[in-house]
Amino acid sequence: MLDSKSMLVLKILANGSVGGSYKIFEASDIISALPKHYRTDSEGVRHILTHLERQDMISIKYDDDDTYCLAVLPYGLETLENERPNKREKHKTTLIIFLSFLCAFLGAILGVIVTYYLIKVI
């Protein structure tokens, strides 16, 4: 399981590399691609990249003074793919809750109307 900052860094790396090939990334480029509230320093990027490598999501060929040659591995790409449906499921859950409430409300109103007409007839 990845925290949100690591997931964002993985997305940045996946968008920057093509087809699992190695590409050179500067720590400053990764930092500038992060949203402002997730910004970190080069040491933070180093820790995140080390964590991603230990999770077998990326492969670091070499690193030299905040310059990294790395590739996103298939497991990292799979993690990104699996993360996308979770957002859809949250929207579906919210929609289901709303529709359930709406149907219950309409059912209650219909029950009151039917009861009113039954009392009126009797």
* Domain presence at residue 48: yes
Range of the domain at 48: 4-75
Prediction pTM value: 0.67
Tell me the pLDDT tens digit for each residue of 61-73: 988 888 999 999 9
* Total tally of structural domains belonging to the chain: 1
Q: pLDDT tens-digit profile of 17-62?
A: 877 789 999 999 999 999 988 888 989 999 999 999 999 999 999 8
Note whether residue 71 is domain-resident. Answer: yes
Three-state secondary structure call for residue 114: helix
Q: What is the CATH number of the domain that holds 51?
A: 1.10.10.10
The two structure tokens encoding residue 1: 């399981």
What is the DSSP annotation of 14-55? Answer: HHHSSTT--EEEEHHHHHHHS-GGG---HHHHHHHHHHHHHT
